[in-house]
Copies of this chain bind each other. A is one copy, B any other.
């Protein structure tokens, strides 16, 4: 099929997936949702990116625990407590680094849009989930260059409001590294690495909405970030003479905590410093 120019993006989120349940074959459900007659403009095409929420991935993978165990589930998912905030009448809000390296409130344990009495953990390995979904959709639809992104909703430092980010990715270049390029004045672009899959996640959230029951979106027009299949060329490089791009997942966008200027909440760091300062006298 023809491919739209890179400077035009279409994003849509078909209705009708229905409730996903533990043990469901997610690839089959998503495939059925996206199946269109030949010639339908919404039929999946080369260069498309399929975006799914982590919620439906988690549901299909059975990552459900009883809501009574929510605080324990957060503890279990926590690698490192980053910051906490007291909340009247509620357990303290815990911003933690979870086992995926993601810094998130409540470790990403989710209590909305889940069956009554349950909460959802994030997928065990969202990059692997993305790869499996991509493999199945490529095979079913006979498409070579297909990307898959798994999203979650995250808070940020310094800004109110949540945005969707990518926690899993396959078949799509996660970052656009322009550091070798030049700007329109011919000067080197020194520090510009764009988190492409995070921007894809945010774009898809705009069509999905939170309460709308449309957890699957298609993004068309980003074919430049969807190279021919990785892992099939023996050198792992992109064909067509382009630069070799490692088949990395969204995990690669996680900044290692030792490199992070905000690895610890301000109050927590201050308290630790204060204690150490006091102890320095002993």
Nearest CB on B from A11, distance (A): 4
* Inter-chain contacts of A192 with B (CB < 8 A): 112, 153, 162, 210
Within A204-253, which residues are at the interface with B (CB < 8 Å)?
205-214, 221-222, 252-253
Whether A113 contacts B213 by the Cβ 8 Å rule is no
Q: Which residues of B contact A270 (CB under 8 A)?
A: 264, 269-270, 272-273, 276
Determine if A75 is an interface residue (Cβ-Cβ < 8 Å). no
Residue among A19, A207, A253 facing the most chain B CB atoms (10 A cut-off): A207
Interface-central residue, A181, A213, A271, A274, by most chain B CB under 10 Å:
A274
Q: How many monomers of this chain does the complex have?
A: 2
Chain B residues, CB < 8 A from A175: 160-161
Q: Does A27 sit within 8 A of B, measured CB to CB? A: no
Within 8 A of B (CB), among A249-282: 252-255, 260-281
Do A185 and B116 contact each other (CB < 8 Å), given the known contacts A255-B158, A280-B278?
yes
Interface range on chain A (Cβ under 8 Å from partner): 35 or more
Q: Is the CB of B160 within 8 A of A253?
A: yes
**Which interface residue of A254, A265, A281 has the most chain B CB atoms within 10 A?**
A265
A24 within 8 A of partner (CB)? no
Residues of B within 8 A of A200 (CB): 206
Contact B278 A195 (CB under 8 A): no
**Alpha-carbon distance A205/B221, docked complex (angstroms):** 13
- The smallest C-beta distance from A141 to any residue of chain B, in angstroms, reads 20
Quick check: is A196 within 8 A (CB to CB) of the other chain? yes
One of B12, B85, B183, B275 near A211 (C-beta < 8 A): B183
With A206-B9, A269-B266 in contact, is A161–B280 under 8 Å at CB? no
Is A189 part of the binding interface, using a Cβ–Cβ cutoff of 8 Å? yes
> In the complex the two chains form, what is the Cα distance from A211 to B10 in whole Å?
21
CA distance A254 to B210 in the complex (A): 22
A143 at interface by CB-CB < 8 Å: no
A10 to B207, CA, bound (A): 10
A160-B254, A163-B195 given. 18 additional CB < 8 A pairs? A8-B11, A9-B203, A113-B183, A157-B260, A158-B262, A159-B195, A159-B254, A160-B252, A160-B253, A163-B202, A178-B210, A178-B211, A189-B211, A264-B266, A264-B269, A267-B269, A269-B269, A270-B270
CB pairs A–B below 8 angstroms (16 shown) = A9-B12, A9-B207, A19-B184, A85-B261, A95-B261, A116-B185, A156-B195, A158-B260, A159-B253, A178-B210, A183-B211, A189-B211, A202-B203, A273-B277, A278-B280, A281-B281
